[in-house]
Chains A and B, each alone.
Chain A
Amino acid sequence: MSGTPVRGDAERFHEEWARLLSADHGIAVHPDLLNRLVARTAALLHRAQGDTPFEPRLATQAGAELVDAHFTDPVLLARAVELLQAQRLADDRGPALTGAFAAGWAAALRERTLREQEAIRTAADAARKEAERALRASEARFRALFESAAIGIGIGDTDGNIMAVNKALQELFGAGPADMIGRRVGDLVHPEDTPGVWEAYEELISGKRDYFQFDKPYYRQDGEVVWTHLTVSLIRDDDGAPQYQVAMLEDVTDRYRLQERLRHQATHDPLTGLPNRAAFFERLETLFEDPEPGARFGLCYVDLDGFKVVNDSLGHDMGDQLLSAVAARLKAALTPLGHLVARLGGDEFVVLLEQCRGEQEAVAAAKTVLRALDGPVLIGDHKLAVGASVGVLERRVSTTTPGAAVRAADLTLYRAKEAGRGRWTLFDPKENARAVSRYAVSVRMPAALDRGEFFIDYQPLYRLADGRLAAVEALVRWRHPQLGVLGPDEFVTTAEETGLIMPLGRWVLEQACGQAADWIKRFGDAAPQLNVNLAVRQARNAGLVGDLGRILDGSGLDPARLQLEITESTVVGPEDEALRTLHGLVDLGVSLAVDDFGTGWSNLAYLRDLPVSGLKIAGSFVGDLHEPGKDESTGWRIVSGLVSMAHTLGLNVTAEGVETARDAERLRTIGCDWAQGWHFGRPVRPAEIARRIVEEPKGRPIEG
């Protein structure tokens, strides 16, 4: 019997079979391939239907070929079965044929599924192995990096337990892993730790910061110190919680030692081992940086007598040995007293008393110097007698500057030399000024004005009621080529004596008025009043009023913004010709104030007749309030009396020499109007005044 279907049926089956396969998955298959698949499977099914005997495997193969071509959708199987069953066959093989087809499809799909699952598992395995290999390689790289890094690396937990250390760190500490692992980071303190390093560490392990860097010393296992540049970083987990700390340490011991040596070399005299000139000035300047109110200091400027003779007759080598011996004696005698001995150069030494209690102590130091050099120095076969002269200076820190102090001590020393060597001489301001003028000032001063060696600093005056900048006092300075910067007290007397005060005074007025006009142009009412000192000789000059008129016109400065400061000695009696000049100045619109009140003649009767509107209480009244041995309350009563007296006369009162917030506040309570002094600012460059105008629109707090 044959199962061949009716002819028309076969053609219709082929068409429907082709339509079935070209839908869905079929669209992804190339039409040529699809046509071949349709033809082949249709042929197989056709033979399965018609061949005798019935060969079910042909149908089985057709089903399998569909799966091989990735027709794996069960919907397709359902439709195919439907199509096959719809065929009218000549015998009853239909169900068996369809069953064989379905079984072929299913078996092939099962095979394919297993094959693909196997393939994807193998691929996943391969990928995982590759990832593990890469991870191992990466771990090996990181381990090598950790182990062989030239920089010391340590890892710790956030409780401060050291968990791992690399070789470089072990070498740095001269310790094995067992010595370090399990130790606590907090045990690694060193007395020379930079302040703040442990606070930074605490912040790090508590998660408040992510890293810090410091130079830090550690004790090695053998007790030696190693200096390191330390960087500690915090490692957080995925949620951001602190997990580990990683410390990286670079050995900078050599660099540190070199720096220390360079610093020692830079600050010490190689011959005597004493601090050198640079180190001495550094110490001295530190004293002036932020002095306690009333702080005093002393200087003994020491110069060997007859050292040149030793050097010239016995040779430099002998001279050097002598200097070393002198240095050793001075050091031995004075260092125990807490004083600093330095070599300034040649045969000049200096003793610095950083916290001096008074002149007696400085003089005692000078006597100690002379006593130390009393006995002869034994060098080789020579017994050398050394003597020295000492200039002694003892001052309140606030009354001078480092440069002026050393210069003054030096000049005092010369007075000791002149007075006949082997002795000490105490600083005397008058002698000092005389010495300055004698040695260097008078000769050079006339040319100095032409050479532009003078300049003006401005010291602020503050209103005590509201803390606002009220005025600035112009203070002339001389940048002397040999002596350094000189203050007015060091050359104004000479200028008066030589007559140079006239052109210098004019120059100061021109400069200061120009500057004040500029501030007013820039800052308007916020700009301060200008105070300029008027020398006695200027006030007695009839031409001053005319000069000043021209200067005011030239600068455009409102005369009301200018105040001239005169001293009590400017006017000596009611008939004084200077009085006319002063009235002329007031007529210009300029105001006058009496400066340094209380230091001179202080004739209150004349004060009443002077055309002045202000009074400045000399700095010694407030400055000396806290002097040991002086009754402070009496001092205050005097100041208070001066203030109320001035107010009675309708004068604006300025207290000079105010050094502390406490004194400023007391003065404010007393009713003093303005104040001036280190508490409010030293004389400064004009730019600093401009900065204050801008930055203190609401004034500064009086109580510091």
Chain B
Amino acid sequence: MRRPSWVPEGTDLDKPNAARVYDYYLGGSHNFEVDREMARKALALWPELPQIMRSNRAFLRRAVTFLAEQGVTRFLDIGSGIPTFGAVHEIARAIRPEAKVVYVDRDPVAVAHSRLLLEGDPASSVVQADLRDVDDLMARPEVTELLAEGEPVAVLLVAVAHFVSDDEDPCKLIGVIRDALRPGSALVLSHASLEGRPDQAEDHQKLYRMTPTPLTMRTHEQITAMFAGFDLVEPGVVYLPQWRPDQPESVGEHPERMTGVAGVGFRP
């Protein structure tokens, strides 16, 4: 049973946090020694992690740009973490200056950071909620307002669904979100895959199992299944660099080394 929401969760700065570790990989300083310690261990195991994170960030940038170009002006970024650079509202507003973004994260520090960053921005807001308690998330006033009558909404689950265990059933959670979306809305999803670097996958998951946010890497097929009820846009669910690259050559020779796969789908 989950704790009733009126019993607060504490902040635990003694444990590494996925959002701050991610920031460290990306060369940011929004992190503490515990985060860096964890990140260094991961890097020792898997030196390509910064590239992978950058590749993921680049996918986010291309996907948001693509959707903004398609006319999407509302974004729900679930698991937004600490936007070290290139936050969704910045990317979207380059094309759609009126773009509205609701950032959602379960980590109170990430949420507080986003609030500081977005102070005085009336078109964006930050919500502390947990994807795993999707009913609570979808019932937040900021979220219901974004999803209310009017424009379609792009829901971003970028590098976040792999923090949801099989027991917590990510497909079911995504299904709840999908059912609340009007036609023309989109799902942007990237996810650590088991196939890209099968040699690294187990050790990496083992390392994350020691953190409050264990990692569940999944197969291409399982990840594609998360798009049930969405029409995938070309090129479907592919390795991060393969998704609509800026230039054909920026895919690189080994896109599978970026291990993450990603896709964008529209709700028909």
Q: How far is the CA of A114 from the CA of B29 in the complex (A)?
A: 8
Residues of A with C-beta under 8 A to B84:
70
Are A28 and B54 in contact (CB-based, < 8 A)?
A: yes
**In the complex, which residue of chain A has the Cβ closest to the Cβ of B62?**
A30
Taken together as a complex, chains A and B put the C-alpha atoms of A31 and B86 apart, in Å, by 13
A27 within 8 A of B: yes
> How distant is A403 from chain B, measured CB to nearest CB, in Å?
56
Q: Please, which residues of chain B bring their CB within 8 A of the CB of A73?
A: 27, 50
- Give the CA-CA distance A114 to B31 in the complex, in Å: 11
**Which of B26, B28, B91, B112 is A126 in contact with, Cβ under 8 Å?**
B112
CB distance from B17 to the nearest CB of A (A): 10
A122, B116: Cβ atoms closer than 8 Å: yes
A122 to B117, CA, bound (A): 11
Could you mark each residue 668-692 of chain A with 1 if its beta carbon is under 8 Å from any beta carbon of chain B, else 0? 0000000000000000000000000
Give CA–CA (A270, B105) in the complex, Å. 73
Q: Is residue A570 contacting chain B, with contact meaning CB distance below 8 A? A: no
Interface centre among A28, A113, A135 (most CB of B within 10 A): A28
B29 contacts A27, CB within 8 Å? no
Give every chain B residue within 8 A of A400 (Cβ-Cβ). none
B residues less than 8 Å from A116 (CB atoms): 28-30
Chain B positions within 8 Å of A31 at CB level: 246-247
Contact yes or no, A124 B11, CB < 8 A = yes
**Bound complex: CA A69 to CA B27 (Å):** 12
Alpha-carbon gap, A29 to B31, bound state (A): 22
Q: Taking A116-B28, A117-B29, A134-B8 as contacts, is the C-beta distance between A124 and B109 under 8 angstroms?
A: yes
**Which residues on B sit within 8 Å (CB–CB) of A119?**
30, 113, 116-117
- A644 CB–B CB distance under 8 Å: no
- In the assembled complex, which residues on chain B have CB atoms less than 8 Å from the CB atom of A72? 27-28
Q: A30-B91, A138-B6 are in contact. Are A24 and B51 (CB under 8 A)?
A: yes
A12 within 8 A of B: no
B58 at the interface (CB under 8 A from A): yes
Measured CB to CB, the closest approach of chain A to B110, in angstroms, equals: 8
State in angstroms the CA–CA spacing of A135 and B11 once bound together: 11
**Contacting A123 at CB < 8 Å: which of B10, B28, B113?**
B113
A315-327 vs B: 1/0 string, CB under 8 Å?
0000000000000
Inside 8 A of A27's CB, which chain B residues have their CB? 54-55, 58, 241, 250
Smallest CB gap from A121: residue in B: B32
Alpha-carbon gap, A141 to B4, bound state (A): 13
Residues of B within 8 A of A (CB): 6-11, 13, 20, 26-32, 50-51, 54-55, 57-58, 61, 65, 82, 84-86, 91, 94, 108-113, 115-117, 241, 246-247, 250
Show 27 A/B contacts (Cβ-Cβ < 8 Å), sorted by A. Answer: A22-B250, A24-B51, A27-B54, A27-B58, A28-B58, A28-B85, A70-B27, A73-B50, A117-B30, A119-B113, A120-B20, A120-B29, A120-B31, A120-B32, A120-B109, A122-B116, A123-B113, A123-B115, A124-B112, A125-B112, A127-B108, A127-B112, A128-B11, A131-B8, A131-B11, A135-B10, A138-B7
Asked if A112 CB lies within 8 Å of chain B CBs, one says yes
Q: Closest chain A residue to B245 by CB distance?
A: A27
Tell me if A25 counts as interface (CB < 8 A to partner B): yes
A131 touches B29 (CB 8 A): no
A130 contacts the other chain (CB 8 A): yes
Instruction: Determine the residue in chain B with the shortest Cβ distance to A126.
Output: B112
A127 adjacent to B54 (CB under 8 Å): no
How far, in Å, is A686 (CB) from chain B's closest CB? 52
The chain B residue with its CB closest to the CB of A22 is B250
Interface residues in A1-51 by Cβ distance below 8 A to B read 22, 24-25, 27-31
In the bound complex, residues from chain A placing their C-beta under 8 Å from that of B112 are 122-127, 130
Residues in A neighbouring B58, C-beta threshold 8 A? 27-28
Residues on A with C-beta less than 8 A from B94 are 30
Please indicate the chain A residues that have their CB under 8 angstroms from the CB of B10 in the complex. 131, 135
Instruction: Indicate whether A127 sits within 8 Å of B30 (C-beta atoms), given known contacts A28-B54, A135-B10.
Output: no
Complexed CA–CA distance, A161 and B57 (Å): 59
* Alpha-carbon separation in the docked complex, A24 to B51 (Å): 7
Supply 17 further A-B pairs (C-beta < 8 A) apart from A69-B85, A135-B8: A27-B55, A28-B26, A28-B55, A30-B86, A30-B94, A70-B26, A73-B27, A114-B29, A119-B116, A119-B117, A120-B30, A120-B113, A123-B30, A124-B112, A128-B13, A130-B108, A138-B8
